[in-house]
């Protein structure tokens, strides 16, 4: 009976060593990787939830990048429109100057040269202002070109912000290409057309400003959601170092004790056999 009991004790000790070794390895994995879920068997539900959160977080972070890119695009358009506005103001000034009888036709011709040069440059800016290879200030579409920016985690229609960029070309857009200040009558007529062009470009810039502000708030909100979702995922996936360290220390103590018990259980049969000799 003593030998049988000894064998049973040895089996118990061996089983305890196996179970404890598994627990020790798990604790060491958690401490070395920083993650408490290193395989699906560690926490099947937690793994699924964590992966779902990861997809959401990565989508949110990409949405923030999309919003920031869109802001840069609109700021590029606004900067070019600001330059065009300055030139329109100078063209209006020249029209007012040329619209008086104190200047000769020759002098009005000089003014018109600057006037035409400014008009050409406004058109050039519209043709050459590009973002990522796209011309953003020139379009033949009626009312301008509409851009939809994806600023969410899932890319749905509800998570997009649309902004229309009006054409600022001197011909489909501002309508000032045919103006001249080479005479009093032409200069006087040009003023009202330039005023209309200024109103158009100011309206377009207001729409840009509203779009930039909306995108900024959207990016801030997405960042906030991403940070909070990351914190929630961390509580599921990341290692609790205090708990894992305690588990490792406990496992090591049990391992040492079980090893000692197994050694003792293995020695008892030898003692019994020695008495039989």
Q: What is the pLDDT of residues 2-40, one digit of tens each?
A: 555 555 655 665 666 666 666 667 666 766 676 777 777
Average pLDDT (191-211) is 95
User: How confident is the model at residue 144, as a pLDDT?
Assistant: 81
User: How confident is the model at residue 151, as a pLDDT?
Assistant: 92
Mean pLDDT, the chain, whole residue set: 84
Residue partners of 57: CB distance under 8 A and separation at least 6: 226, 229, 230, 233
Confidence of residue 50 (pLDDT cuts 50, 70, 90): confident
Cα(138)–Cα(131) distance, integer angstroms: 12
Cα(142)–Cα(172) distance, integer angstroms: 8
User: How confident is the model at residue 84, as a pLDDT?
Assistant: 96
> Which residues does residue 130 pair with via DSSP β-bridges, in sequence order?
135
The whole model's pTM is what?
Answer: 0.75
Q: Which two tokens stand for residue 234?
A: 């961390």
Confidence of residue 226 (pLDDT cuts 50, 70, 90): very high
User: How confident is the model at residue 75, as a pLDDT?
Assistant: 96
**Residue 270 predicted with pLDDT over 60:** no
Q: Which of 125-129, 157-161, 267-271 has the lowest mean pLDDT?
A: 267-271
Cα(82)–Cα(122) distance, integer angstroms: 11
Query: Domain spanning 62-220 has what CATH number?
Result: 1.20.1330.10
Grouping H, G, I as helix, E, B as strand and the rest as coil, residue 177 is coil
Confidence of residue 221 (pLDDT cuts 50, 70, 90): very high
Cα(143)–Cα(55) distance, integer angstroms: 38
Average pLDDT (111-136) is 94
User: How confident is the model at residue 11, as a pLDDT?
Assistant: 63
Q: Which of 49-53, 59-63, 130-134, 235-239 has the lowest mean pLDDT?
A: 235-239
Q: What are 140-192's pLDDT values in tens digits?
A: 777 788 999 999 888 888 889 999 888 888 777 888 989 999 999 999 999 99
Question: What b/e sequence results for 115-138 when a residue is b if at least 16 CB atoms lie within 10 Å of its CB, and e otherwise?
Answer: bbebbeebbebbeebebeeebbbb
Helical (H) or strand (E) element with 131: strand 130-131
**Residue 114 predicted with pLDDT over 70:** yes
Average pLDDT (112-122) is 96
Grouping H, G, I as helix, E, B as strand and the rest as coil, residue 59 is helix
Domain boundaries, given as residue ranges, for the chain: 2-36+238-276, 62-220
Grouping H, G, I as helix, E, B as strand and the rest as coil, residue 231 is helix
**Residue 197 predicted with pLDDT over 70:** yes
Q: Which two tokens stand for residue 49?
A: 């939830």
Residues of the chain with pLDDT > 70, as a percent, come to: 73
Q: What are 85-96's pLDDT values in tens digits?
A: 999 999 999 999
Chain centroid to CA 210: how far?
20
136/258: higher pLDDT: 136
């Amino acid at each position: 009976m003593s030998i049988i009991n000894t064998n049973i004790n040895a089996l118990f000790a061996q089983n305890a060593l196996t179970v404890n070794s598994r627990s020790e390895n798990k604790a060491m994995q958690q401490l070395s990787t920083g993650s408490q879920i290193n395989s699906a068997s560690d926490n099947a539900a937690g793994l699924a939830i964590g992966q779902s959160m990861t997809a959401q977080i990565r989508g949110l972070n990409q949405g923030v990048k999309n919003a920031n890119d869109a802001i840069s695009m609109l700021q590029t358009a606004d900067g070019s429109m600001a330059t065009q506005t300055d030139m329109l103001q100078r063209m209006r000034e020249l029209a007012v100057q040329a619209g008086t009888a104190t200047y000769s036709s020759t002098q009005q011709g000089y003014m018109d040269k600057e006037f035409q040069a400014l008009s050409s440059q406004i058109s050039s800016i519209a043709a050459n202002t590009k973002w990522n290879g796209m011309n953003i200030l020139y379009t033949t579409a009626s009312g301008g070109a509409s851009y939809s920016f994806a600023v969410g985690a899932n890319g749905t229609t509800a998570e997009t912000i649309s902004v229309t960029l009006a054409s600022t070309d001197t011909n489909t857009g501002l309508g000032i290409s045919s103006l001249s200040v080479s005479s009093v009558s032409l200069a006087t007529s040009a003023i009202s057309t330039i005023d209309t062009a200024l109103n158009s470009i100011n309206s377009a810039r207001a729409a840009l400003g509203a779009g930039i502000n909306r995108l900024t708030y959207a990016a801030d909100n997405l960042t906030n959601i991403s940070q909070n979702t990351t914190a929630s995922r961390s509580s599921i996936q990341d290692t609790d170092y205090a708990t894992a360290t305690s588990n490792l220390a406990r496992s090591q103590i049990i391992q040492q004790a079980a090893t000692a018990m197994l050694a003792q259980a293995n020695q008892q049969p030898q003692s019994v056999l020695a008495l039989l000799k």
